[in-house]
Structure 1
C-alpha cells in the first residue's frame, strides 16, 4: 500500500478552515425553528451513517489479530480514559484565572473523548511505527469511548451547572447513534466491504460532511441561545495556552512512559500518536447529545485541540521518520505502509 506523504510545511489544515467557515455561517445564518429541527435530524442521520461506514471499513480479522498486542492497547486506553481525565480534573484549579467555568467544562469533556483513528494511522505510518497496532488502538478506543465517554461525563460533569442533561437516556442515545450503526457496518462488511475499499476517498467526504453538519447544528443552537457572549479573546488565549500544555504533557508521557514499559520503537510511536490525541468525529456527536444547547461551547476546546494536535504531531512524525533504525530490528518491512484515507478524525 502507498505510504502517506505530507507537505514539507504544515499549514493550517484546509478542513479546519471549512470548520471555521461553518461556524461563521452558523453565526450569520443560524438554524431556527423547523430549520433547526431538520438540521438536527440530518446531523443525527449523517453521524449514524458515518459510524456505519467505520464498521464496514474495519476488518474483523484485523481487529482480532490486534488483540494479541493487548499491552499496547491497554496502555493507549489508560492514557485516553484515565490519564487525560485526571489532567482535566487538575485543570479545575485554573478557573477562573485562565478559564471560565463553561470553557473548563468543554476542556474536561475534551479529555474524556476517544482517540483518533485516521490521523493516528497516518502519523504512525509516516514515522515508521507499528501501523497495525495504531489501526487497532484507534478502533478499540472509539468503540470503548461510545460507552465510557458518556459514563465519565455523567460522573464528572453531571452535577455542573449548564452542562446539559446526563442520564442513562443519554448513554442509550449515544449507543443507538454510534455503536449500533458500527455493529451493523461490521455485519454488512461481507457484502459491501469491497465497495467501501474501492471508494474510500468518496466516502471520506461523508466523514467530513457529517462533522460539518454537526458543527453547524451545535453552533446554530449556541447562537440562538446567545451563549457566545460568554467568551472573550483573552479567555480564548488562556484556553489555547492550557491546551498547549496539556498536549505537551501527554506527548511526553506517552513517549517516555512507553519506553519505561519497555515497548519497542515502533510500538512507542503508535502509543504516542494514539494515546495523545482526541477525536473530533466522535466527540462532536456525543457533545450534541450530552450538552444540548451548550454544545457549541463544549466542542470549542475540542476543535482547537484537534488543529493543535495535527500540526504538532505532523512535526513529530517527520522527525521520527528521520530517526536512525537498527537494521537488526525489523521495522519497515514488517509494518509497511499506511492504511488511511487522509481524513483526520
Structure 2
C-alpha cells in the first residue's frame, strides 16, 4: 500500500503551499507554523504517519527531513507528532531543490511513501509502552509510584539488567536481573537491549525480552530511563509514548536536591549537571510526546493521569472481560 504526497521545500522559510496545506488539513495551527518560521526549518515535507503501532497512524503530519534521509529512504522523525513512523520510500523526481538560487525552490515535488518493511498495517493488541524520563528531584518516581498505587493491575515495570551486586533485600528477577559483566556484554553484542548505560562502573540496561514479557501480560510497560536511554530507544521500533517529568525550574530542582541532605556536594553537582543537560534535551522538537511540569504534585499527577487514562481504561476493560 503506497501513498503519494506533495513535498514542499523552501530554504529558511515555510512555503505558502505548505502553510495553506497545513491550515486546510488541520495538520498544524498558525501558532505552530509561526514557531517553525522562527526556528528556520529548511526542509519540510508533508507525509502521512505510516507506523502501524503509532496512535497517529494514518494521520498527516509535517516532518523536517534532512536531504540525505530523503535520498536514502530512511525513517524520519516527525516534528508534529514525534513518532518515527514516516518513511520516504523513494523519490519519483530526478532531483529535489533544497535551497540556493534555483528558481524551483519551494516548488511541489511528488514522493512515494510506503509502509515500513513494505508490509500492510499490523494491528497490535498489546498496550503501548510508556517511557518516562526526568532528572533526579523532578518527582518522577513519586508520580509513577502513585500511578501504580491507583491502578495496580494496569502497569508493570520492565525489569532491568545490571552488573552491580544486589543489595540487602533485593531479589534477582524482582528489582533487577543481576548478571555478570561478561554475560551483559555478550547480550549487548547480540543486540538484546533496547537501551543501556554505565553508571559508577556498573552496566544497566533494558532488554527487549523484559518489555515483551510485560506486553504478554496485557499491562502497560513502564520504562524509566535517562536522556541517553531515550535516544537509544528512539533508534528501535518499540514506538512508546515518551513523557518527560520536569521540575518547574533549575533553581527549584537544586533546592530539592540539597534539601534531601542524602548526598555530598560532588554528587549533587553531578546530578545538577545531568539535570541541566536533560532539561535542554527535553526542549528539542519531537523528543517527547508530553512534558509534565511537576510544580504542584496533585496538579501534575492529574495531568499525567489524563494523558494515560484512555490506555488505562482499555487495559482494565480487557482484564475485566477476561474474568
Relative to the length of structure 1, the TM-score reads 0.21
Q: Which has the larger radius of gyration?
A: 2
Higher relative contact order (CA 8 A, sep 6+): 1
Structure with the largest fraction of helix: 1
Structure with the largest fraction of strand: 2
